[in-house]
Amino acid sequence: MTVRIAHISDTHLGARPSRGVKHNVWGVEMRTRLLENDFYDRFAELFDRIAALDPPVDLVVHSGDLYDSPWENNPSQPPVVAQETAIRVLKGFIEKTGIPVLILEGNHGLYRSLKVSLLDSLKLAVPGLDVVTQVDLTRAFSNEEPLMYSYPEVDVFCFPFMEESVLESTGLMSDFNDWISSYQTPTPKKVSIGVAHGMTIDKSLHSGIFELDLDYIALGHDHSQHRHAKNAWYAGSPERWRFDETRAEKGFLVVDVEHLKQPRVTPIHLEFSRPVYNEKIAIKPDDDEPTLIEKVERWLTEKGLKKPWEPTTSARIRLTFEGQAKRVSGFELSMAMEALRTRILAQESDYNVSQLVWNIRQPDIEHSPSAYPEIDSEYLIEDPEEDFRAYLETLDVDERFDETMLTKIAVRALKFSVSRSDEKLSLENYTEGEE
């Protein structure tokens, strides 16, 4: 028997880009900001597309981060409209199609210090919706019982977000792995899938999941849609949450699963009316402020952005200036860009731009505040691996050192430095889990 599944993830309802955004523009008047509304539109589009599939799916699984907040850097509840959108779209989909939906709790939308979940209240509002929270995981682990939902055609084993550091600090890592192998084991003759929210880089994706002989594993947390293992895929995020996601395909997965066979995965990609740019501007040694601003204005014109304001096609832009000039400092360039941004984002502007931020990479200055992502991110920089590799290229690295390993160690150190773990930094946990 073939089971058809729609796999979605990381919808981040309620995400609100704020820095460098055009003021007083609405997605829905007096209800949602323009860029916030993109996430709501994408969520509705996902379920419209899934409802139209032929043949239909048997189940929809959401592998975490339904909402953007709360999370460790933002304790606020998601906006009211985010919660209304989730209820309206999910309720309408289930009533129309009769297809069950299961939503897993990720690291966003999670109250870390409370034994309550926004998913529980969502389930009360939407008949036919199943949810799995970190509280459910803790209860199943403590009671030594499986955490799974059984549907007529498929069993779904669930692994909500759980940081390895939490398990290690409480001395439960070994017991947790034993729980996975003892209680999350699929039935030999029935189609089974796993749903997990985690990544290897932050040690929240537990390796024991891949030893369970599951027919398919639906992963969330990584916003890039890609295959992780022979039977495991990340669905990715359906909307551009960070600027470094602009070149990634966005959408969802349709997965045909048969017991003991390789799953057939069909990526479904979405198209966007709003362009998002993450571009580099080279600083030449003889450049000055006017020259660099002219480069930016020329780039805007080449991209077709010098035209009347149109909300649904207005661009989001992040520029990265690379290099150094003798006649302009990073501070002076930032001030010149601030003036340009004020002009570009003015109500009577000649540019169709809804957001403009920038990053300046020069050897002798710190990053300006305008460099950072305009949506809350787990990382201080968007792609630590790429940035560190670029840094290594500027150095004369001794050939005895493996640059790939140096990069992994640097990324682990960065993640460790911004975490709230009480664990002490050591050579062992620098390279833990790496070959």
CATH of the domain at 121: 3.60.21.10
pLDDT for 165 equals 87
The token duo for 397 is 């690295």
Q: Are residues 63 and 211 in the same domain?
A: yes
Indicate whether 299 pLDDT > 90. yes
For residues 265 and 282, state if they share a domain: no
In a domain, 248, yes or no: yes
Shared-domain flag, residues 324 and 234:
no
Which helix (DSSP H) or strand (DSSP E) does residue 59 occupy?
strand 59-62
* Residues 69 and 14: beta-carbon distance below 8 Å: yes
Q: Which two tokens stand for residue 399?
A: 């050939």
Could you tell me if residue 397 is inside a domain?
no
Query: Which one-letter DSSP state was computed for residue 243?
Result: G
Residue 392 placed within a domain: no
How far from each other are the two terminal CA atoms of the chain, in whole angstroms? 39
Checking if the pLDDT of 383 tops 70, the result is no
Residue 53 lies in a domain: yes
pLDDT at 435 over 60: no
Q: What is the pLDDT of residues 44-55, one digit of tens each?
A: 999 999 999 999
Boundary of a domain, candidates 205, 234, 269:
269
Q: Are 242 and 303 contained in the same domain? A: no
- Both 162 and 78 in one domain: the answer is yes
pLDDT at residue 374 in the model = 38
Residue type, 342: T
H/E element holding 371?
A: none
248 and 372 together in one domain: no
Closest CA to 178 of 156, 213, 208, 136: 208
Reading the block at residue 17, the tokens are 């880009």
Query: What does the pLDDT read at residue 420?
Result: 46
Domain-located, residue 434: no
Contacts of 263 (CB under 8 A, 6+ apart): 215, 216, 231, 255, 256, 257
DSSP letters, 170-222, are TT-HHHHHHHHHHHSPPPTTS-EEEEEE--TTTT-S-GGGGGS--SEEEEES-
More confident residue, 27 or 401: 27
pLDDT value of residue 72: 80
Residue 43: what are its φ and ψ, rounded to 5°?
-60, -45
Q: How far is CA 334 from CA 79, 341, 353, 359, 365, in A?
A: 32, 10, 19, 9, 12
Among the listed residues 62, 59, 129, the one whose alpha carbon sits nearest the alpha carbon of residue 91 = 129
Asked whether residue 182 falls in the same domain as residue 207, the answer is yes
**Considering only CA atoms, which of 71, 64, 85 is closest in space to residue 9?**
64
38 vs 240: CA distance, rounded Å: 9
**Segment 133-184, tens digit of pLDDT:** 999 999 999 999 999 999 999 999 999 999 888 899 999 999 999 999 999 9
Q: Are 176 and 167 in contact (CB under 8 A)?
A: yes
Do residues 246 and 294 share a domain? no
Q: How many domains does the chain have?
A: 2
Domain match, 258 and 341 both: no
The pLDDT-based confidence of 423 (bands split at 50, 70, 90) is low
Domain-embedded: residue 412 = no
Same domain, 47 and 149: yes
Q: How confident is the model at residue 73 (pLDDT cuts 50, 70, 90)?
A: confident
Pick from 269, 302, 330: which residue ends a domain?
Answer: 269
List the Cα angle 371/296/300 in 5-degree steps.
Answer: 105
C-alpha torsion 124→127→132→134, nearest 10: -10
361 and 314 share one domain: yes
pLDDT of residue 74: 84
Q: What is the chain's mean pLDDT, rounded?
A: 89
What domain range includes position 94? Answer: 2-269
> Does the pTM exceed 0.85?
no
When pLDDT is averaged across residues 209-229 and rounded to a whole number, the result is: 97
Q: Cα–Cα distances in Å, from 146 out to 62, 149, 158, 397?
A: 19, 9, 9, 50
From 269, 304, 329, the end of a domain falls on 269
Q: Is the pLDDT of residue 191 over 90?
A: yes
Angle between helices 80-97 and 34-51 (to 10 degrees): 10
How far apart are the C-alpha atoms of 44 and 417, rounded to whole Å?
A: 38
Q: Examine the domain organization and report whether 247 and 211 are in the same domain.
A: yes
Residue 146 within any structural domain of the chain: yes
In a domain, 362, yes or no: yes
